[in-house]
Structure 1
Amino acid sequence: MVMGAAGSKLEKALGDQFPEGERYFGLENFGNTCYCNSVLQALYFCVPFREQLLEYYEGRKNVGDVEENILTCLADLFTQISSQKKKTGVIAPKRFVQRVRKENELFNSHMHQDAHEFLNFLLNELVDILEKESNVAKTSPETPSLSQKVVNGTNHIQDNGIKKEPFVTWVHKSFQGILTNETRCLRCETVTARDETFLDLSLDIEQNSSITSCLKNFSSTETLNAEDKFFCDKCCSLQEAQKRMKIKKTPNVLVIHLKRFKYMEQLGRNKKLLYRVVFPLELKLSNTINNSDAEYSLFAVVVHVGGGSNHGHYVSLIKSHNRWLYFDDDNVDMIDESAVQTYFGSTQEFSNNTDYGYILFYEGLG
């Protein structure tokens, strides 16, 4: 369902410079679905992810009847946007929202929801569906696989004892990185390393900080002693140890979630931290295991508007073809690049402006 000409002002503003083949559509709000709309816009303008989803939609057309799920609804929605004859306008993502509410009770209400929880749920749900489809394709040779197999990380053991690479979906290909958790026994100096995958990094924040300093804190060394001692396999006993987290494999798209909501015991609820956290347009990731810098460019910001965690609004800032756009449900406007820094946060504990960056999307350069 397409509505109105809400974006015609944007079309006029861009004129001959409107990017060829691109579409800028607002999304209708179905009663507190801004958390969903803001994340969908960020994902739509994550071009590798969008292209894979459109390809999935094309491949699915030849397979016959496929049961509707969140993946098929999202592929339908992205295809609907990208194939519009008009360049701007409003689309109602009704089927997708209905499917989300059906699949997850958490989102089946008109209450204020958390955009980061929704993003996590959505990406993990897409991975589950693609993995199931891959398994079906393996047991039925005639069925063409709807997913791509790419090599990554850890080996899995099959029943017959032969090692095989785990199936990695195109969702992983876009967003997955690998962290290494290193623990060094301070008695025998043995280092134990454990790898874990991530689709986004959740960072603790401090007042007047930056993404770079938050990432340094994320990878800082922590000493395990007293009640937190580490059981060292070599010493066969509990020992003092040092622990740190480093990035072993950087993702193609780095998603950073700023922990702006903190539970306060004295309040008995979550409080929004209005801290000023600078997020640069260009980011160098230096806390990698091989100490080589990975370079990223910011292309989307999901912004939380409001002073608390149980109410408020979400909008998204999107960089598309070197221009910044502001998506607020069904409204789409152009903004200056310099306006992005107004979403860093406040140096004051109380502030009239509460529109702060919450989820950041960076694309890898090179």
Structure 2
Amino acid sequence: MGATGSKLEKALGDQFPEGERYFGLENFGNTCYCNSVLQALYFCVPFREQLIEYYSSSKNPADAEENLLTCLADLFMLINSQKKKTGVVAPKRFVQRLKKQNEIFRSYMHQDAHEFLNYLLNELVDILEKESRAPKSDSDTSSTSEKVANGPNNAHANGAQKEPLVTWVHKNFQGILTNETRCLCCETVTARDETFFDLSLDIEQNSSITSCLKNFSSTETLNAEDKFFCDKCCSLQEAQKRMKIKKAPHILVIHLKRFKYIEQLGRYKKLSYRVVFPLELKLSNTVEDYDAEYSLFAVVVHVGSGPNHGHYVSLVKSHNHWLFFDDENVEMIDESVIQTFFGSSQEYSSNTDHGYILFYERTTTAGTS
């Protein structure tokens, strides 16, 4: 990595961002799925800063019980505090903890980066929620860790909260979907809200993220055997159903469903469809009366022709520069290179590098357009 690191420093020269670190992550056999997601999360700056702030503010972090949260914080702090600007670190402690906690990730088979991301975020939330419920010692009725877990100005007094805990993980990634069902007999609309950390979108050949989002929110008619039980009519009725984004998250994570089960084959197949993902994205199909605007800052790429083998790399935007992370190797790339990861317009193509998980950061705040 020495030569690669020097090359990267040389490429950035005087433009190397003050205080930033660009470090590759060692691969322990099959951990590219983990490395690619960790790089995307590290360059999700609000998440990184809040994780480090939380851990630094906790009482005696060195004495804290080891879990995925402490291991992730240790790893991010290790990178963040390096004297060198570039290099390689080994996320050994984090990977060991991950394998210890979840047998799915113990094998040396090809793992799914999206499944790992989902597991990690939910595990972090579980840990923070457990900490908030832990009995307070001495006269400390509102501990530092609880304040930081809730984020600034959102701690519940004396820990007596009835609402679910809103952690900094929620504040970054959580959005709200509303599932609306309209009875075609009485016109009554039934709405049910559900939270999400990422949106999984079905994909089609030669499409775009915008069209995938429109399909996600399209109206579906429930009839025949799929009729809806209307509480007002007290009977099964034909209805129209649609899913809309009620509250857009600060960090919008989009998972492209590139692995599809094909009945005829009796197995999963990778869809290499060309799906254009823009650098700037506008969410116009939300319940809110304004457009939520986003900027792309990371892409986890699946390299390979099938779902059971292959490799993961990540593209990351940092201080207006795009970087390519491939385990231990880090290099600078031109923004135009991103287009090569959209997918293929032909069914059979030698290009097997496809965008799989997209990370967008919100550039507009609530109430603005």
TM-score tier, shorter chain, comes to over 0.9
**Root-mean-square deviation (Å):** 1.7
CA distance, structure 2, for counterparts of residue 96 and residue 204 of structure 1: 32
Tell me the residue number matched to 2:199.
Answer: 201
Taking structure 1 as the reference length, what is the TM-score of the superposition? 0.94
Tell me the residue number matched to 1:324.
Answer: 322
- SS of 1:361's partner is strand
CA distance, structure 1, for counterparts of residue 37 and residue 61 of structure 2: 29
Deviations 1:72-128 (A, max 9, x none): 000000000000000000000000000000000000011100000000000000000
Note if contact 2:54-2:149 (Cα within 8 Å) is conserved in structure 1: no
5 Å-filtered alignment, 1:124-163, equals 124-136=122-134, 142=140, 144-146=143-145, 147-149=148-150
Residues 13/263 of structure 1: CA separation in 2 closer, same or farther (3 Å cut): same
Tell me the residue number matched to 2:357.
Answer: 359
CA distance, structure 1, for counterparts of residue 138 and residue 229 of structure 2: 46
Tell me the residue number matched to 1:257.
Answer: 255
Tell me the residue number matched to 1:46.
Answer: 44
Note if contact 1:203-1:257 (Cα within 8 Å) is conserved in structure 2: yes
Deviations 1:222-247 (A, max 9, x none): 00000000000000000000000111
Tell me the residue number matched to 2:243.
Answer: 245
Aligned equivalent of 2:346, options 327, 345, 348: 348
CA distance, structure 2, for counterparts of residue 94 and residue 329 of structure 1: 13
CA distance, structure 2, for counterparts of residue 91 and residue 341 of structure 1: 29
CA distance, structure 1, for counterparts of residue 138 and residue 348 of structure 2: 60
Runs of 4+ in 1 over 6 A off after TM superposition: none
Aligned equivalent of 2:272, options 264, 267, 274: 274
Note if contact 1:5-1:88 (Cα within 8 Å) is conserved in structure 2: no
* Stretch moving more, 247-256 or 290-299: 290-299
5 Å-filtered alignment, 1:46-125, equals 46-60=44-58, 62=60, 65-125=63-123
**CA apart distance, 1:290:** 2.7
CA distance, structure 1, for counterparts of residue 84 and residue 38 of structure 2: 20
* Stretch moving more, 286-295 or 115-124: 286-295
Tell me the residue number matched to 1:333.
Answer: 331
- SS of 2:253's partner is strand
Deviations 1:166-194 (A, max 9, x none): 21110000000000000000000000000
Aligned equivalent of 2:303, options 282, 302, 305: 305
Taking structure 2 as the reference length, what is the TM-score of the superposition? 0.93
- The unaligned stretches of length 5 or more in structure 1 are 152-161
Question: Is 1:171 aligned with 2:172?
Answer: no
* Stretch moving more, 165-174 or 322-331: 165-174
CA distance, structure 2, for counterparts of residue 163 and residue 328 of structure 1: 44
**CA apart distance, 1:141:** 5.2
Note if contact 2:258-2:356 (Cα within 8 Å) is conserved in structure 1: yes
CA distance, structure 1, for counterparts of residue 53 and residue 13 of structure 2: 30
Residues 349/132 of structure 1: CA separation in 2 closer, same or farther (3 Å cut): same
- SS of 1:90's partner is strand
Identity of aligned residues (%): 81
Note if contact 1:180-1:195 (Cα within 8 Å) is conserved in structure 2: yes
